[in-house]
Chains A and B, each alone.
Chain A
Amino acid sequence: MGDTVSHATVLDSLLRRMLVAAFGMLDATDREAVCGDLAESRETTVPALREVLSLVLRRRTASLGNWHPWLTLAALTIPLAAFVSLTARSTADGSAIYLWLYLNNWDWTYTKSLGFWQELIQCAQGVLLSCVALVCWSWTSGLLLGWSARRTLWLQGAVFFAVVVTVGAHGVPLSFGHVLVLQRARNYQGNAAVFAQAFYRQVFPRILRDPLRNSACMERNASEFPNQSTSTKWPDDSVDLLRRGGGYARDPESRLVANAGLAYLAASSASLAIAYAAGHCSSGSLPASDTCFPLD
Protein backbone atom coordinates (compact mmCIF):
# COMPACT_ATOMS: atom_id res chain seq x y z
CA MET A 1 0.00 0.00 0.00
CA GLY A 2 2.80 2.33 1.02
CA ASP A 3 4.70 1.45 -2.18
CA THR A 4 1.66 2.24 -4.36
CA VAL A 5 1.25 5.68 -2.76
CA SER A 6 4.96 6.31 -3.12
CA HIS A 7 4.91 5.34 -6.81
CA ALA A 8 1.89 7.59 -7.43
CA THR A 9 3.65 10.50 -5.75
CA VAL A 10 6.78 9.97 -7.82
CA LEU A 11 4.70 9.76 -11.01
CA ASP A 12 2.77 12.94 -10.14
CA SER A 13 5.97 14.77 -9.39
CA LEU A 14 7.45 13.58 -12.68
CA LEU A 15 4.37 14.67 -14.65
CA ARG A 16 4.39 18.11 -13.03
CA ARG A 17 8.06 18.53 -13.89
CA MET A 18 7.33 17.51 -17.46
CA LEU A 19 4.51 20.05 -17.57
CA VAL A 20 6.76 22.83 -16.32
CA ALA A 21 9.40 21.80 -18.89
CA ALA A 22 6.75 21.83 -21.64
CA PHE A 23 5.70 25.35 -20.58
CA GLY A 24 9.35 26.34 -20.86
CA MET A 25 9.24 25.50 -24.57
CA LEU A 26 6.55 28.11 -25.21
CA ASP A 27 6.96 31.84 -25.83
CA ALA A 28 6.33 34.10 -22.83
CA THR A 29 3.00 35.30 -24.29
CA ASP A 30 1.78 31.79 -25.10
CA ARG A 31 2.89 30.55 -21.70
CA GLU A 32 1.01 33.29 -19.88
CA ALA A 33 -2.23 32.79 -21.83
CA VAL A 34 -2.17 28.97 -21.89
CA CYS A 35 -1.24 28.60 -18.23
CA GLY A 36 -4.12 30.90 -17.32
CA ASP A 37 -6.57 29.05 -19.59
CA LEU A 38 -5.63 25.68 -18.11
CA ALA A 39 -5.87 26.98 -14.55
CA GLU A 40 -9.27 28.55 -15.30
CA SER A 41 -10.66 25.36 -16.81
CA ARG A 42 -9.29 23.35 -13.86
CA GLU A 43 -7.49 20.90 -16.13
CA THR A 44 -5.68 18.06 -14.37
CA THR A 45 -2.00 17.40 -14.96
CA VAL A 46 -2.19 14.80 -17.75
CA PRO A 47 -4.70 16.65 -20.01
CA ALA A 48 -2.83 19.90 -19.33
CA LEU A 49 0.42 18.25 -20.41
CA ARG A 50 -1.27 16.92 -23.56
CA GLU A 51 -2.64 20.37 -24.41
CA VAL A 52 0.67 22.15 -23.89
CA LEU A 53 2.61 19.55 -25.87
CA SER A 54 0.13 19.79 -28.75
CA LEU A 55 0.68 23.56 -28.89
CA VAL A 56 4.47 23.15 -28.68
CA LEU A 57 4.40 20.61 -31.51
CA ARG A 58 2.20 22.80 -33.70
CA ARG A 59 4.37 25.84 -33.07
CA ARG A 60 7.55 23.92 -33.93
CA THR A 61 6.24 22.38 -37.12
CA ALA A 62 4.59 25.63 -38.24
CA SER A 63 7.88 27.51 -37.97
CA LEU A 64 9.57 25.03 -40.32
CA GLY A 65 7.21 26.03 -43.12
CA ASN A 66 8.98 29.40 -43.54
CA TRP A 67 12.28 29.93 -45.32
CA HIS A 68 13.80 31.90 -42.40
CA PRO A 69 14.91 28.91 -40.27
CA TRP A 70 16.50 27.19 -43.26
CA LEU A 71 18.38 30.35 -44.19
CA THR A 72 19.58 30.70 -40.58
CA LEU A 73 20.64 27.06 -40.62
CA ALA A 74 22.66 27.44 -43.83
CA ALA A 75 24.05 30.94 -43.27
CA LEU A 76 24.66 30.96 -39.52
CA THR A 77 24.30 27.66 -37.68
CA ILE A 78 26.40 25.40 -39.89
CA PRO A 79 29.23 27.94 -40.47
CA LEU A 80 29.36 28.72 -36.73
CA ALA A 81 29.37 25.00 -35.87
CA ALA A 82 32.14 24.38 -38.42
CA PHE A 83 34.15 27.26 -36.98
CA VAL A 84 33.77 26.06 -33.38
CA SER A 85 34.50 22.43 -34.25
CA LEU A 86 37.62 23.37 -36.22
CA THR A 87 38.77 25.60 -33.36
CA ALA A 88 38.18 22.69 -30.94
CA ARG A 89 40.12 20.37 -33.19
CA SER A 90 42.96 22.82 -33.60
CA THR A 91 43.11 23.34 -29.82
CA ALA A 92 43.00 19.59 -29.26
CA ASP A 93 45.82 18.98 -31.70
CA GLY A 94 47.89 21.68 -30.07
CA SER A 95 47.25 20.37 -26.56
CA ALA A 96 47.35 16.65 -27.24
CA ILE A 97 51.09 16.55 -27.81
CA TYR A 98 51.74 17.91 -24.32
CA LEU A 99 49.16 15.57 -22.85
CA TRP A 100 50.76 12.69 -24.67
CA LEU A 101 54.30 13.66 -23.70
CA TYR A 102 53.43 13.89 -20.01
CA LEU A 103 51.05 10.94 -19.72
CA ASN A 104 52.95 8.46 -21.86
CA ASN A 105 56.32 9.31 -20.40
CA TRP A 106 55.45 10.09 -16.81
CA ASP A 107 58.08 9.27 -14.24
CA TRP A 108 57.87 10.32 -10.59
CA THR A 109 61.58 11.04 -10.52
CA TYR A 110 60.93 14.03 -12.81
CA THR A 111 59.05 15.73 -10.00
CA LYS A 112 62.31 16.24 -8.11
CA SER A 113 63.54 18.56 -10.84
CA LEU A 114 62.70 22.26 -10.58
CA GLY A 115 62.93 22.62 -14.35
CA PHE A 116 60.28 19.97 -14.77
CA TRP A 117 57.81 21.98 -12.66
CA GLN A 118 58.57 25.21 -14.49
CA GLU A 119 58.01 23.47 -17.81
CA LEU A 120 54.82 21.78 -16.55
CA ILE A 121 53.34 25.07 -15.27
CA GLN A 122 54.20 26.85 -18.51
CA CYS A 123 52.67 24.04 -20.55
CA ALA A 124 49.54 23.89 -18.35
CA GLN A 125 49.07 27.66 -18.71
CA GLY A 126 49.21 27.37 -22.49
CA VAL A 127 46.73 24.50 -22.60
CA LEU A 128 44.40 26.21 -20.12
CA LEU A 129 44.44 29.48 -22.07
CA SER A 130 43.63 27.58 -25.29
CA CYS A 131 40.69 25.88 -23.56
CA VAL A 132 39.43 29.20 -22.14
CA ALA A 133 39.67 30.76 -25.61
CA LEU A 134 37.71 27.82 -27.03
CA VAL A 135 35.01 28.18 -24.36
CA CYS A 136 34.76 31.92 -25.12
CA TRP A 137 34.40 31.29 -28.86
CA SER A 138 31.77 28.60 -28.22
CA TRP A 139 29.86 30.78 -25.76
CA THR A 140 29.86 33.73 -28.19
CA SER A 141 28.67 31.50 -31.05
CA GLY A 142 25.94 30.04 -28.85
CA LEU A 143 24.74 33.50 -27.78
CA LEU A 144 24.69 34.70 -31.39
CA LEU A 145 22.68 31.66 -32.40
CA GLY A 146 20.33 31.98 -29.44
CA TRP A 147 19.55 35.61 -30.22
CA SER A 148 19.22 35.07 -33.97
CA ALA A 149 16.94 32.04 -34.10
CA ARG A 150 14.44 32.12 -31.27
CA ARG A 151 11.55 30.26 -32.89
CA THR A 152 13.60 27.33 -34.19
CA LEU A 153 16.21 27.22 -31.47
CA TRP A 154 15.57 23.52 -30.90
CA LEU A 155 16.48 22.74 -34.54
CA GLN A 156 19.43 25.13 -34.75
CA GLY A 157 20.76 23.95 -31.37
CA ALA A 158 20.49 20.26 -32.29
CA VAL A 159 22.25 20.75 -35.64
CA PHE A 160 24.93 22.92 -34.01
CA PHE A 161 25.59 20.34 -31.28
CA ALA A 162 25.66 17.43 -33.75
CA VAL A 163 28.09 19.18 -36.12
CA VAL A 164 30.45 20.29 -33.34
CA VAL A 165 30.56 16.90 -31.66
CA THR A 166 30.84 14.90 -34.88
CA VAL A 167 33.41 17.07 -36.66
CA GLY A 168 35.23 18.02 -33.46
CA ALA A 169 35.58 14.48 -32.15
CA HIS A 170 35.83 12.43 -35.32
CA GLY A 171 37.17 14.90 -37.86
CA VAL A 172 35.90 15.84 -41.29
CA PRO A 173 34.64 12.84 -43.27
CA LEU A 174 36.87 12.12 -46.28
CA SER A 175 33.91 12.48 -48.63
CA PHE A 176 33.61 16.13 -47.52
CA GLY A 177 37.34 16.70 -47.80
CA HIS A 178 37.05 18.89 -50.86
CA VAL A 179 34.15 21.00 -49.66
CA LEU A 180 34.89 24.68 -49.09
CA VAL A 181 36.55 25.55 -45.81
CA LEU A 182 36.47 22.01 -44.48
CA GLN A 183 39.38 21.10 -46.73
CA ARG A 184 41.42 23.66 -44.82
CA ALA A 185 40.60 21.88 -41.58
CA ARG A 186 43.42 19.48 -42.19
CA ASN A 187 45.89 22.36 -42.21
CA TYR A 188 44.72 23.49 -38.79
CA GLN A 189 45.81 20.31 -37.06
CA GLY A 190 48.78 21.73 -35.23
CA ASN A 191 50.69 18.56 -34.45
CA ALA A 192 48.98 16.09 -36.73
CA ALA A 193 52.20 15.31 -38.58
CA VAL A 194 53.87 14.36 -35.32
CA PHE A 195 51.11 11.93 -34.38
CA ALA A 196 50.97 10.48 -37.87
CA GLN A 197 54.51 9.12 -37.67
CA ALA A 198 55.30 5.85 -36.00
CA PHE A 199 58.59 7.30 -34.84
CA TYR A 200 56.93 9.75 -32.45
CA ARG A 201 54.18 7.31 -31.55
CA GLN A 202 56.19 4.25 -30.74
CA VAL A 203 59.92 4.79 -30.98
CA PHE A 204 60.29 8.15 -29.26
CA PRO A 205 58.56 7.02 -26.02
CA ARG A 206 60.95 4.10 -25.79
CA ILE A 207 63.90 6.43 -26.10
CA LEU A 208 62.51 8.62 -23.35
CA ARG A 209 61.58 5.74 -21.08
CA ASP A 210 64.89 4.02 -21.35
CA PRO A 211 67.58 6.67 -21.25
CA LEU A 212 70.04 4.41 -19.48
CA ARG A 213 69.59 1.69 -22.02
CA ASN A 214 69.97 4.19 -24.80
CA SER A 215 73.15 5.63 -23.38
CA ALA A 216 74.47 2.09 -22.89
CA CYS A 217 73.75 1.43 -26.57
CA MET A 218 75.67 4.52 -27.52
CA GLU A 219 78.63 3.48 -25.36
CA ARG A 220 78.61 -0.01 -26.91
CA ASN A 221 78.48 1.51 -30.38
CA ALA A 222 81.38 3.72 -29.52
CA SER A 223 83.47 0.76 -28.39
CA GLU A 224 82.50 -1.55 -31.28
CA PHE A 225 82.66 1.08 -34.01
CA PRO A 226 85.20 3.70 -32.99
CA ASN A 227 84.98 5.43 -36.39
CA GLN A 228 81.25 6.13 -35.91
CA SER A 229 81.37 7.40 -32.35
CA THR A 230 78.40 9.77 -32.66
CA SER A 231 75.86 7.27 -34.07
CA THR A 232 72.88 6.04 -32.04
CA LYS A 233 71.60 2.48 -32.03
CA TRP A 234 67.79 2.28 -31.69
CA PRO A 235 66.16 -0.09 -29.23
CA ASP A 236 65.89 -3.51 -30.91
CA ASP A 237 62.14 -3.63 -31.56
CA SER A 238 61.83 -0.02 -32.75
CA VAL A 239 63.13 -0.74 -36.24
CA ASP A 240 60.56 -3.53 -36.58
CA LEU A 241 57.78 -1.18 -35.47
CA LEU A 242 58.79 1.41 -38.02
CA ARG A 243 59.00 -1.19 -40.76
CA ARG A 244 55.61 -2.72 -39.91
CA GLY A 245 53.96 0.66 -39.61
CA GLY A 246 55.40 1.81 -42.91
CA GLY A 247 56.44 5.01 -41.16
CA TYR A 248 52.88 5.91 -40.18
CA ALA A 249 50.55 4.79 -37.44
CA ARG A 250 47.01 5.43 -36.25
CA ASP A 251 46.22 8.43 -34.06
CA PRO A 252 47.31 7.90 -30.47
CA GLU A 253 44.65 7.69 -27.79
CA SER A 254 45.68 10.99 -26.22
CA ARG A 255 44.78 12.84 -29.41
CA LEU A 256 41.42 11.09 -29.67
CA VAL A 257 40.68 11.87 -26.02
CA ALA A 258 41.71 15.51 -26.49
CA ASN A 259 39.60 15.83 -29.66
CA ALA A 260 36.51 14.30 -28.10
CA GLY A 261 36.93 16.13 -24.79
CA LEU A 262 37.34 19.56 -26.34
CA ALA A 263 34.55 18.95 -28.85
CA TYR A 264 32.18 18.18 -25.98
CA LEU A 265 33.51 21.14 -24.02
CA ALA A 266 32.84 23.46 -26.99
CA ALA A 267 29.41 21.97 -27.67
CA SER A 268 28.41 22.16 -24.00
CA SER A 269 29.53 25.80 -23.68
CA ALA A 270 27.61 26.75 -26.81
CA SER A 271 24.53 24.86 -25.61
CA LEU A 272 24.63 26.66 -22.27
CA ALA A 273 24.91 29.98 -24.12
CA ILE A 274 21.96 29.07 -26.36
CA ALA A 275 19.91 28.12 -23.30
CA TYR A 276 20.95 31.36 -21.59
CA ALA A 277 20.01 33.43 -24.65
CA ALA A 278 16.67 31.61 -24.95
CA GLY A 279 15.90 32.14 -21.26
CA HIS A 280 16.94 35.78 -21.50
CA CYS A 281 14.67 36.36 -24.51
CA SER A 282 11.54 34.86 -22.96
CA SER A 283 10.85 37.03 -19.94
CA GLY A 284 7.68 35.26 -18.71
CA SER A 285 7.94 33.16 -15.57
CA LEU A 286 7.39 29.43 -15.53
CA PRO A 287 4.53 28.12 -13.41
CA ALA A 288 5.52 26.59 -10.09
CA SER A 289 5.22 22.83 -10.32
CA ASP A 290 3.14 22.53 -7.14
CA THR A 291 0.69 25.41 -7.54
CA CYS A 292 -0.68 25.53 -11.07
CA PHE A 293 -2.84 22.46 -11.53
CA PRO A 294 -4.68 19.97 -9.34
CA LEU A 295 -3.62 16.34 -9.37
CA ASP A 296 -5.54 13.65 -11.23
Chain B
Amino acid sequence: MIGEFEYLLITAAARLGEGAYGAAIRREIEDATGRRCSIGALYTTLDRLQTKGLVKTWMGEATRERGGRAKRMVRVSAKGVQAATAFYRAVIRVSRDASWEIP
Protein backbone atom coordinates (compact mmCIF):
# COMPACT_ATOMS: atom_id res chain seq x y z
CA MET B 1 0.00 0.00 0.00
CA ILE B 2 1.35 3.43 -0.96
CA GLY B 3 1.47 6.35 1.48
CA GLU B 4 -0.66 9.49 1.57
CA PHE B 5 1.91 11.75 -0.09
CA GLU B 6 2.70 9.12 -2.69
CA TYR B 7 -1.00 8.96 -3.50
CA LEU B 8 -1.18 12.76 -3.81
CA LEU B 9 1.79 12.78 -6.16
CA ILE B 10 0.49 9.99 -8.39
CA THR B 11 -2.96 11.57 -8.54
CA ALA B 12 -1.56 15.01 -9.40
CA ALA B 13 0.63 13.48 -12.13
CA ALA B 14 -2.35 11.53 -13.51
CA ARG B 15 -4.51 14.68 -13.59
CA LEU B 16 -1.81 16.67 -15.39
CA GLY B 17 -1.25 13.93 -17.98
CA GLU B 18 1.30 14.94 -20.62
CA GLY B 19 2.08 18.18 -18.76
CA ALA B 20 3.16 16.46 -15.54
CA TYR B 21 6.56 17.63 -14.31
CA GLY B 22 8.12 18.71 -10.99
CA ALA B 23 6.92 22.30 -10.66
CA ALA B 24 3.42 21.58 -12.06
CA ILE B 25 2.89 18.62 -9.71
CA ARG B 26 4.06 20.76 -6.79
CA ARG B 27 1.55 23.50 -7.66
CA GLU B 28 -1.22 20.91 -8.06
CA ILE B 29 -0.54 19.38 -4.63
CA GLU B 30 -0.30 22.80 -2.94
CA ASP B 31 -3.59 23.93 -4.53
CA ALA B 32 -5.37 20.70 -3.56
CA THR B 33 -4.15 20.45 0.04
CA GLY B 34 -3.56 24.12 0.89
CA ARG B 35 -0.20 23.10 2.35
CA ARG B 36 3.34 23.82 1.25
CA CYS B 37 4.97 21.05 -0.73
CA SER B 38 8.76 21.06 -0.41
CA ILE B 39 10.92 20.26 -3.40
CA GLY B 40 12.92 17.87 -1.22
CA ALA B 41 9.84 15.81 -0.39
CA LEU B 42 8.62 15.95 -4.00
CA TYR B 43 11.78 14.70 -5.66
CA THR B 44 12.70 12.07 -3.06
CA THR B 45 9.15 10.66 -3.25
CA LEU B 46 9.33 10.74 -7.03
CA ASP B 47 12.55 8.71 -6.88
CA ARG B 48 10.94 6.21 -4.51
CA LEU B 49 7.90 5.81 -6.78
CA GLN B 50 10.17 5.33 -9.78
CA THR B 51 12.13 2.64 -7.92
CA LYS B 52 8.86 0.86 -7.15
CA GLY B 53 7.90 1.12 -10.82
CA LEU B 54 4.82 3.26 -10.12
CA VAL B 55 5.95 6.22 -12.26
CA LYS B 56 8.39 6.82 -15.08
CA THR B 57 10.46 10.01 -15.27
CA TRP B 58 12.72 11.55 -17.91
CA MET B 59 14.26 14.92 -18.67
CA GLY B 60 12.10 17.02 -20.97
CA GLU B 61 12.65 20.17 -22.93
CA ALA B 62 14.02 23.45 -21.58
CA THR B 63 11.93 26.63 -21.66
CA ARG B 64 12.77 30.29 -21.38
CA GLU B 65 10.61 30.83 -18.29
CA ARG B 66 12.66 28.15 -16.54
CA GLY B 67 15.91 29.95 -17.30
CA GLY B 68 16.74 27.47 -20.04
CA ARG B 69 16.58 24.51 -17.66
CA ALA B 70 14.99 21.16 -18.55
CA LYS B 71 11.88 19.75 -16.86
CA ARG B 72 11.73 16.38 -15.12
CA MET B 73 8.68 14.89 -16.80
CA VAL B 74 6.52 12.29 -15.02
CA ARG B 75 4.18 9.61 -16.33
CA VAL B 76 2.15 7.26 -14.12
CA SER B 77 2.64 3.61 -15.02
CA ALA B 78 -0.10 0.94 -15.06
CA LYS B 79 1.25 -0.36 -11.76
CA GLY B 80 1.02 3.19 -10.37
CA VAL B 81 -2.63 3.46 -11.45
CA GLN B 82 -3.40 0.16 -9.68
CA ALA B 83 -1.62 1.27 -6.50
CA ALA B 84 -3.43 4.64 -6.44
CA THR B 85 -6.78 2.96 -7.11
CA ALA B 86 -6.18 0.50 -4.25
CA PHE B 87 -5.35 3.39 -1.91
CA TYR B 88 -8.42 5.38 -3.00
CA ARG B 89 -10.70 2.38 -2.49
CA ALA B 90 -9.25 1.75 0.94
CA VAL B 91 -9.94 5.37 1.92
CA ILE B 92 -13.50 5.12 0.59
CA ARG B 93 -14.10 1.83 2.43
CA VAL B 94 -12.73 3.07 5.71
CA SER B 95 -14.70 6.33 5.41
CA ARG B 96 -18.02 4.62 4.77
CA ASP B 97 -20.61 5.32 7.49
CA ALA B 98 -18.07 7.44 9.37
CA SER B 99 -19.63 10.46 11.04
CA TRP B 100 -17.53 13.63 10.97
CA GLU B 101 -19.78 15.59 13.29
CA ILE B 102 -17.96 16.78 16.38
CA PRO B 103 -19.61 15.07 19.39
Q: Interface residues, chain A, CB within 8 Å of chain B?
A: 29-30, 32-41, 51-52, 54-59, 62, 287, 291-292
Inter-subunit contact B67/A291 (CB<8 Å): yes
Complex A-B, nearest 9 residue pairs according to Cβ-Cβ distance, in ascending order? A36-B69, A54-B40, A36-B66, A33-B72, A55-B40, A37-B23, A39-B67, A51-B39, A58-B40
Cross-interface CB contact of A39 among B40, B44, B69, B72, cutoff 8 Å: B69
**Count, chain B residues at interface, CB 8 A:** 21
> How far, in Å, is B72 (CB) from chain A's closest CB?
4
Chain A residues whose CB sits within 8 angstroms of the CB of B23 once the complex forms: 36-37, 40-41
Q: Is B26 an interface residue (CB 8 A)?
A: yes
A54 to B45, CA, bound (A): 13
Q: Is the CB of B22 within 8 A of A33?
A: yes
Determine the distance from Cα of A55 to Cα of B45 in the docked complex, in whole angstroms: 11
The answer to whether the Cβ of B86 comes within 8 Å of any Cβ in the partner chain is: no
* Nearest CB in chain B to that of A30: its residue: B43
Contact check, B43 vs A40: say whether CB atoms are below 8 A apart.
Answer: no
Contact with A along B57-95 (1 / 0, CB 8 A): 001001101110111100000000000000000000000
| Complex Cα gap A38–B40 (Å) | 12
| Complex interface residues of chain B between 1 and 36 (CB less than 8 A to chain A) | 21-23, 26-27
> In the complex, what distance in Å separates the CA atom of A39 from the CA atom of B67?
6
Q: What residue in chain B is nearest A43 (Cβ atoms)? A: B39
- The reply to whether B70 and A51 contact each other, CB–CB distance below 8 Å, is no
A44 to chain B, nearest CB (A): 14
B41: chain A residues at CB < 8 Å are 54, 58
Query: Is B38 interfacial (CB 8 A cutoff)?
Result: yes
Pair B59/A33 contact, Cβ less than 8 Å: yes
Given A29-B59, A33-B72, the answer on whether A54 and B39 have CB atoms closer than 8 Å is: yes
Quick one: closest B residue to A35, CB to CB? B69
Give the complex CA separation of A36 and B70 in angstroms.
7
- From residue B40, how far is it (CB to closest CB) to chain A in Å? 3
Pick the contact of B67 from A36, A51, A57 — CB < 8 Å?
A36
Q: Are A29 and B72 in contact (CB under 8 A)?
A: yes
Give Cα A51–Cα B41 distance, bound, in whole angstroms.
9
Q: Which residues of B contact A292 (CB under 8 A)?
A: 67
Task: Assess whether B72 is in contact with A51, with CB atoms less than 8 Å apart.
Answer: no
